[in-house]
Amino acid sequence: MIYRWLFLFVLLWSACKKSNPTAPALPAADYLHAAQKKLTDLIITDIFTPPVASRVYVYPLLAAYEAGKFVKPNAVSITNQLHGFDEMPTPEADKTYDFTLAAIKALCATAPKVIFSVKDLENFENQTLPKLKKTTTDEIYNRSIDFGQRVANTILKRLKTDQYAQTRGMERFVVQANVPGRWVPTPPDYADGVEPHWAKMQPLLMDSAAQCPAAPAAPYSEDPDSPFWREVKEVYEISKNITPEQESIITFWDDNPFVSRHKGHLMFQDKKMTPGGHWLAICQLFLKEKKMGFYESLQAYALTSLAIHEAFISCWEEKYRTTRLRPETVISAKIDKEWHPYLVTPPFPAYTSGHSTISAAAAEVLTHLFGDDQQFTDTTEKEYGLPVRSFTSFRQAALEASMSRLYAGIHFRSDCEAGNAQGKKVGQLVVSRVR
């Protein structure tokens, strides 16, 4: 008799456990943070250029938001406020879902279409979803997975129309070396211009690639009293008198995803986050430190990645329309033939600075979400062997990122200042048009 009652007790306990799932082993936001970090790791592994990396981030993070936003009553769709997206699926009113599961599934089902290392992502998904499965019933699990997949399918329909495939087959940028002031490839690799047709990508929010223009660049001139030549001399003088603090700033904000290092006849590569990846890492750092919830994290990732995506389109439209040369080209030809910048010059035109534009755009979104007085210590570069830096606000960090390019000798001051202003326009557009 005792054994029979014991057996019945075990059956009842098992049934109760199955019908009343326990809370996740980790806070829901932690699963999202892990998925966002996985995107960064895959971008580094697959060596995407910074503009392409912005595309890798934005679609999966929008998918996660659209599938997971229902944790907050009356949360609105972001993609329904953007261009080209179909109406997003909605959960059945009388059914129960695990929206953490749905969000992670939506992200993992979208990302394979924008990365190369699909197997690595599958491993992440296969390790993560079973952990969440333990916290719910089979019925809710299957329903949530299905919902996440349906959201991903809707996101992927928009992905196919963004002109990325078309820009892969377009012609190389035509270099006009005999035109004073025009960009030409730079040492040591003399690489072709990166993504010369990125402005032809379909914006998600902007009405056109030219909606957030920069102020006109100062015209090329070798007149010692001209605005342009004063900027040339400034870059040269800074390089000759660089301070330890400026060197720290340069290194911290380098964010070159795959830079060639040359030593004698040897060449090797350093891999780091892209500029957009650095700002999403800052976003994650802040979300974790402030213990922000799942919805707040979904929203912050989606809006920050959206601002970065639009900023790259805006910046690249300016770059390949203006086609301003780099400091290295004019300084080595007109001032000092042995001169080289502190960092390797990136292979695309100078105006406007990409770092400046996307940093300012991201900072505007983060300031809108969390305030202008948020002091933080950026530890996100530690895993790449770099020290930490502290900032009084997101905007102050963006300004430092911008000026790092002047100190490094790879941009003129106006590239940085105009880029910062351009990025602010993009960020303000995001926060003013997306509820």
Question: Alpha carbon 370 to chain centroid distance?
Answer: 18
Instruction: Please state which CATH number belongs to domain 185-433.
Output: 1.10.606.20
Six-digit token string for 351: 């105006």
Q: What is the model's pLDDT at position 434?
A: 97
Q: What is the model's pLDDT at position 256?
A: 84
**Helices in 47-174 by DSSP H: which ranges?**
50-68, 99-110, 118-133, 138-159, 164-168
Indicate the domain borders of the chain: 22-162, 185-433
Please tell me the total number of residues recorded for the chain in this structure: 435
Q: What is the model's pLDDT at position 177?
A: 86
Question: Alpha carbon 435 to chain centroid distance?
Answer: 21
Contacts of 104 (CB under 8 A, 6+ apart): 31, 32, 35, 64, 125, 128, 129, 132, 148
- The span from the CA of 45 to the CA of 285, in Å, is 21
Residue 394 CB neighbour total at 10 angstroms: 28
Question: Domain 22-162 is classified in which CATH homologous superfamily?
Answer: Phosphatidic acid phosphatase type 2/haloperoxidase (1.20.144.10)
Q: Considering Cα of 400, then 262, then 334, then 179, what sign does the dihedral take?
A: negative
Same fold, 22-162 and 185-433: no
* CB neighbour burial string for 188-206, b if at least 16 within 10 angstroms, e if fewer: eeeeebbbbbbbbbbbbbb
Q: What is the model's pLDDT at position 257?
A: 74
Place of tokens 């509820």: 435
State which H helix or E strand residue 312 sits in. Answer: helix 294-322
**What are the average pLDDT values for consecutive 10-residue runs of the chain, which has 435 residues?**
42 40 68 98 96 98 98 96 98 96 98 98 98 96 98 98 95 91 96 97 98 97 98 98 98 80 47 93 97 97 98 98 98 97 97 98 98 95 92 98 98 98 98 96
- Structure pTM? 0.92
- The span from the CA of 122 to the CA of 241, in Å, is 50
CA angle 137, 140, 143 (to 5 degrees): 145
Bond prior to 352 in cis (omega within 30° of 0)? yes
63: nearest Cα among 158, 202, 142, 198: 158
